[in-house]
Amino acid sequence: DTEVTQTPKHLVMGMTNKKSLKCEQHMGHRAMYWYKQKAKKPPELMFVYSYEKLSINESVPSRFSPECPNSSLLNLHLHALQPEDSALYLCASSQYGTSGYSDTQYFGPGTRLTVL
């Protein structure tokens, strides 16, 4: 089973709202990732967690705040977003992450976020 689940599937929020995206995997993977994908563009890496510690932050604005409560769960907390943050947010997981192995990332279906 290579399933990564993401909730919600769609989210509409105002610029003053606080919301969270959730990602879950039960494959025993120790690395989890957040990507952002704008319309008609390729996915872009935002954050990497490896063994529950933030290992990569691709200079993402602080209005995006990741959290990894345990090895199966990854959250992305959103606050004071801008309309240009509207995008598909993708979560992925892999067995080892950045620990020296080239391991395969498996993606969830994404959350379609619209900021009004």
Partner 1 sequence: DAKTTQPPSMDCAEGRAANLPCNHSTISGNEYVYWYRQIHSQGPQYIIHGLKNNETNEMASLIITEDRKSSTLILPHATLRDTAVYYCIVRGTGANSKLTFGKGITLSVRP
Interface residue list for partner 1 (CB under 8 A): 2, 4, 42-45, 48, 56, 88, 90, 92, 97-110, 112
Summarize the chain as % helix, strand, coil (round to 5): 5, 55, 40
CA–CA separation, 46 and 52 (whole Å): 16
Instruction: Provide the token pair at 76.
Output: 């992305």
User: What is the smallest separation between the CB atom of 80 and partner 1, expressed in angstroms?
Assistant: 26
Dihedral class, residue 62 (left if φ above 0, else alpha if ψ from -120 to 50, else beta): alpha
User: What is the smallest separation between the CB atom of 42 and partner 1, expressed in angstroms?
Assistant: 4
Q: Which is nearer to partner 1, 69 or 100 (CB)?
A: 100
Q: Which is nearer to partner 1, 17 or 109 (CB)?
A: 109
Instruction: Provide the token pair at 110.
Output: 């994404």
Strands 111-115 and 10-13: parallel
Q: Which is nearer to partner 1, 35 or 64 (CB)?
A: 35
User: What is the smallest separation between the CB atom of 14 and partner 1, expressed in angstroms?
Assistant: 23
User: What is the smallest separation between the CB atom of 89 and partner 1, expressed in angstroms?
Assistant: 10
Q: Which is nearer to partner 1, 14 or 114 (CB)?
A: 114
